[in-house]
Amino acid sequence: MDSFANESFKRLDPEKQDRILKAAIAEFAERGYELANTNRIAKNANISVGSVFHYFNTKENLFLYIVQYGSAMIEEQAGKVVDDETLSVAQKIECLLRLAVKSSREEMTLIRLYHEMSSIGNQDLMSKLPRSMELFTAERYVKMLEEGQKKGEVRPELDARLAAFSMDNIFLSLQFAYACDYYRIRFQLYNHPEIDKEEYDEKVISETFQILKGALLVPDMSERD
C-alpha cells in the first residue's frame, strides 16, 4: 500500500515527520516535480539529504508519498459528507462544493500537488500511484447518485457513473481554479470584474450548486430561487 516511506520514517517524532512533509509539499507544490530540489527540501526540513533518502529512497517515492498523504486527507473529508445519512443528495452536493472551495483555500498546496501529479512529464510516476483512494471516492459518488435515483432525488434518466464523473469534474475544476495559477487566471476570464472578493466564494458555491442541481436532481416543486 503506502510503502513509499520506510519504517524508520513512520517511527519518527510526529513533529519531525510533519516538518519533512511540509517542506516536501511546499517544494513540490511551488516548483513542480522536475524542478523540485531534494537538497532544498532537506535544508528546509532541517534534516540532511541522507535522511531524506533514507526515509524515502528516491525523490519519486517522496513525491508519491506526499501526494497520497494529501489526497487521503482531502478525500477523507469528502467521504464523511457522502456517508452522512442525515443529508439529502442536494445537501451532500452543497457540502461537497463547500468542501472543495474550503480545501482549495486551506490546503492549496495539496491541490497543486494533485494537479502536478497529473502533469505529462510524470507519466510513469502516475502509473505507480495506487488509485485505491480515488476509486473509493468514485464509487461513493456513483452510489450516492444511484441511491438518490431510488429515492427520487436524482434524475432517473441519468447514467449514474457518467453523472458522477461530471460532478467530480466540476469539483476538481473548481479546486484547480482556486489553487493553481493557470486555472486561477482562466477562472478570472469568466469572473464579473466588479464582484467583491469577500462574498464571491459564496456566490461561486451557490451558482455552481444551481448548475449541479439542474444537472443531477429532479426539479423540486417546493423550491424557488
What are the residues binding a second copy (CB under 8 A)?
29-35, 112, 115-123, 126-127, 131, 134-135, 138, 142, 155, 157-159, 161-166, 168-170, 172-174, 176-177, 180-183, 185-187, 189-192, 203-204, 207-208, 210-212, 214-216, 219, 225
Closer residue to DNA (CB): 22 or 98: 22
Q: Name the grid cell of 149.
A: 435515483
88 interacts with, out of a second copy, DNA, none, CB within 5 to 8 A per kind: none
- Quick check: 3 binds DNA (CB under 7 A)? no
Which part of the chain contacts DNA (CB under 7 A), choosing from 2-10, 118-126, 182-190, 195-203?
2-10
Listing DSSP states for 47-93 in one string gives S-HHHHHHHHSSHHHHHHHHHHHHHHHHHHHHHHHHH-TTS-HHHHH
Q: How many CB atoms lie within 10 A of CB 94?
A: 19
Cα 133 to Cα 1: distance, rounded to the nearest angstrom: 11
Closer residue to a second copy (CB): 94 or 168: 168
The sign of the CA dihedral 87, 90, 93, 94 is negative
**Residue 185 C-beta: closest distance to DNA, Å:** 23
Closer residue to a second copy (CB): 14 or 193: 193
Closer residue to DNA (CB): 7 or 124: 7
Supply the DSSP symbol for 157: T
Q: Name the grid cell of 143.
A: 452510489
